Structure 1
Amino acid sequence: MARYNLNLYDTFELSFKEGSLKAFVLGKYRDYGRQHGSLTVSTTEYPELSEYGEISHYAIDLKKGKRVQEFKADFESKMNAGISFKISDNTNIKKLSLLIFDKTFSITYVLFLVSLFVCIFSVACSCSSQIESRGQELDLMKKIGHKSNYILKQMLSEQAFVGLVSITCSVIVGILISIILIFKVNPQTFFWTLDFEFPFKRLSC
């Protein structure tokens, strides 16, 4: 859908050797078994439009409460012994696809830990450099009567303000980059779209 820039209820035309078919988008779903997507065509129109009369794949929607293993056992008992077939659960395909996806982008978790360490180290270096560069100013504050606790609070409040500004800018830039990746890079590169939501729990941590 993202590849062809189609939305719900949009019409489009499919071209075959035997003719063309005018279709419309009735719904969108994630097909984890086919990266390039799939189309649903009625069994009466497909043989007329396709040069292949045989059907190799079937999609079966089970009734609510019906388990895949029960259906598989019942289906196997009713099929002839000479017919070979394979039943794949969409849930397992989804888990496998997400597992491959996580392994592919597992390096991002390492980069996240490295960036977190760099941030903590940078804050520590910034605090120490501020204290060192403002040594004369701090000595002057002590001479005019300010206590060490007050000076420490002032330094911490300044660092907290700088950190708050940095975090705010980082969140804004991160949101903009996420929007570009989700709505531009993914559809053009992988031909799929992702849901966009804010991880409030992770941000709160």
Structure 2
Amino acid sequence: MIKIALPKGRIADETLEIFRKIFALDFQFEDRKLILDEGNFQFLMVRNQDIPTYVTEGAADIGIVGLDVLEEHKVDVVRLLDMRIGQCKVCVGIREQDVLDYTRPELKIATKMPNIARNYFSQKAIALKIIKLYGSIELAPLVGLADAIVDVVETGTTMKQNGLKVAETIMQSSAYLIANKNSFITKKAEILSLYHKIKTQINQK
């Protein structure tokens, strides 16, 4: 059996749809269930940020997770395939009336992705103060908590509705198929077979 960690929400739905097309089986979670057993697969419904932990610790053989999460946590996994779903950007956001002022002695950045933010601004030799937040990040510049935010942007609607704009794009992101390194050795044939089937299905879109 191959254990697969999926992030809750749209990416899980799109991944299960891919599996339905490949195997002609009804891959569907029951309401509020966190585990789905179907054929030779066991799907685990997991919070997006926790998927690298499930995979690296071997609780899941493979997982689907955003590239932004992989880059933030620098997890030691096998990156198998860009799934081309869950596409978004990691951006620097500021108030609509502001400009990103690099002449300041220090920029205050609110984010849930401190490593990506530090790496990006260190390449520009900009001193930072990171303010780690877990939600409502758009609020930070509006109340003077931060000069800017670093956050995931899909359509930009949330930023616009809160009086913010995208100042710079740090990276493009989409969901990746990843594998536990030990599982990739012990279950290599099964994982590669699944990889090729998923890749073929994605290329048919």
Per the normalisation by structure 2, the TM-score is: 0.24
Greater relative contact order, per chain length (Cα 8 Å cut-off, separation 6+): 2
Higher Rg of the two aligned structures: 1
Per the normalisation by structure 1, the TM-score is: 0.24
Larger proportion of helix: 1
